[in-house]
């Protein structure tokens, strides 16, 4: 029986399955455990660690975790974990791909439609008592049907968004590492630019002032990937300056955004709190996958979904 630490209460019954085979402690608070708390647990001999994307696991933490045998990350990616350091220490890192693809694609389209049709503004007008009559010029938005959609990154989620775009009669442009439309051309031609690339050193700050300047002044930027792909200051400037018409974000940099962050003062901005995978079924399925990864590793078997399979030699 191994000692396991789960950094947050998860939906579904996956953690109960883990507890039937191992000694499990779940962090009880809504806010994540501090780095010092995680370091203390690892130093005390935790063998299985189930983390969230809000838990940075760096090389120094891993160096002090002599008993650690596996990390299961409750996320499609692993950018919060120093995977190279984990591999060097012989620790497999699991992720939860595929299961959140369709759910996140749904939210991408919801954000696109919400920004295009100014839904948050319309709701605010009604709630504030500002809706006094039907007015032909009120809250004019942008058509999604028949528009051009530019996808930056066309992995599982990007491809799922493209399938939805077919139903809206959209022209879809794709930019990917292996080819497709050049990024500058995509930015210049698209009515909606939707980000679906992973966060790497190459994509950090990819959508900067120069990229935003390439977009149409009537274009909408949508980000359901990772916040640091977009230069936050440049986005705020572009919105204030009318260089793009709107932005819709599920992810931000920093995350979460403080209530007084300058970006939130920008016009035509729709922001939701990183809920791309937030349905009952998907979040429970993610927990199942994370626990399956951890159970396999603690049995000495390869993880079903491993970010560093080279750890197995």
Q: What is the pLDDT of residues 191-231, one digit of tens each?
A: 999 999 999 999 999 999 999 999 999 999 999 999 999 99
Instruction: Check whether 178 has a pLDDT greater than 90.
Output: no
Q: Where are the alpha helices (DSSP H) in 100-155?
A: 101-116, 119-127
Please tell me what DSSP assigns to residue 81: B
Cβ burial 109-130 (10 Å sphere, 16+ → b, else e): bbbbbbbbbbbbbbeeeeeeee
- Annotated catalytic residues are 226, 255, 274
At 1 the pLDDT is 92
Instruction: Give me the chain's average pLDDT, please.
Output: 97
At 179 the pLDDT is 83
pLDDT band at 132 (very low <50, low <70, confident <90, very high): very high
pLDDT band at 246 (very low <50, low <70, confident <90, very high): very high
From CA 246, how far away is CA 248, in angstroms rounded?
7
At 313 the pLDDT is 81
| pTM score above 0.95 | no
pLDDT band at 151 (very low <50, low <70, confident <90, very high): very high
Report which secondary-structure segment, H or E, holds 6. Answer: strand 3-6
Report which secondary-structure segment, H or E, holds 158. Answer: helix 156-167
Percent of the chain with pLDDT over 90: 98
At 83 the pLDDT is 97
From CA 106, how far away is CA 108, in angstroms rounded?
5
The architecture in CATH of the region 3-99+280-312 reads: 3-Layer(aba) Sandwich (3.40)
Domain with CATH 3.40.50.720 in the chain: 3-99+280-312, 101-271
At 114 the pLDDT is 98
pLDDT band at 177 (very low <50, low <70, confident <90, very high): confident
Structural fold of domain 101-271? Rossmann fold (3.40.50)
Nearest to 91 by CA among 75, 58, 69: 69
Length of the chain as a residue count: 313
| Other residues' Cβ atoms within 10 Å of the Cβ of residue 227 | 18
């Amino acid at each position: 029986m191994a000692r396991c630490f789960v950094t947050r209460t998860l939906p579904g019954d996956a953690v109960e399955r883990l507890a039937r085979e191992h000694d499990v402690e779940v962090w009880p608070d809504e806010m994540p455990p501090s780095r010092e708390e995680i370091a203390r647990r690892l130093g005390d001999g935790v063998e299985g660690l189930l983390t969230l994307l809000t838990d940075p696991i760096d090389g120094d933490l891993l160096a002090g975790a002599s008993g650690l045998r596996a990390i299961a990350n409750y996320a499609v990616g692993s950018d919060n974990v120093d995977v190279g350091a984990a591999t060097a220490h012989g620790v497999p890192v699991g992720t939860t791909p595929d299961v959140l693809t369709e759910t996140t694609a749904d939210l991408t389209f919801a954000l696109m439609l919400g920004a295009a049709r100014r839904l948050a503004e319309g709701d605010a007008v009604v709630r504030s008592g500002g809706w006094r009559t039907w007015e032909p010029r009120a809250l004019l938005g942008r058509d999604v049907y028949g528009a051009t959609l530019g996808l930056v990154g066309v992995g599982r989620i990007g491809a799922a968004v493209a399938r939805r775009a077919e139903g809206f009669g959209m022209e879809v442009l794709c930019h990917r590492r292996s080819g497709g439309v050049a990024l500058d051309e995509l930015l210049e031609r698209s009515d909606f630019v939707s980000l679906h690339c992973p966060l790497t050193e190459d994509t950090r700050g990819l959508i900067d002032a120069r990229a935003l300047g390439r977009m149409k002044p009537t274009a909408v930027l949508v980000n359901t990937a990772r916040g640091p792909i977009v230069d936050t200051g440049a986005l705020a400037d572009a919105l204030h300056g009318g260089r793009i018409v709107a932005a819709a974000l599920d992810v931000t940099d920093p995350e979460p955004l403080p209530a007084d962050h300058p970006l939130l003062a920008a016009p035509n901005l729709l922001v939701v709190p990183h809920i791309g995978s937030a349905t009952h079924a998907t979040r429970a399925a993610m927990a199942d996958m994370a626990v399956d990864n951890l159970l396999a590793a603690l049995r000495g078997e390869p993880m079903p979904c491993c970010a560093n399979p080279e750890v197995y030699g």
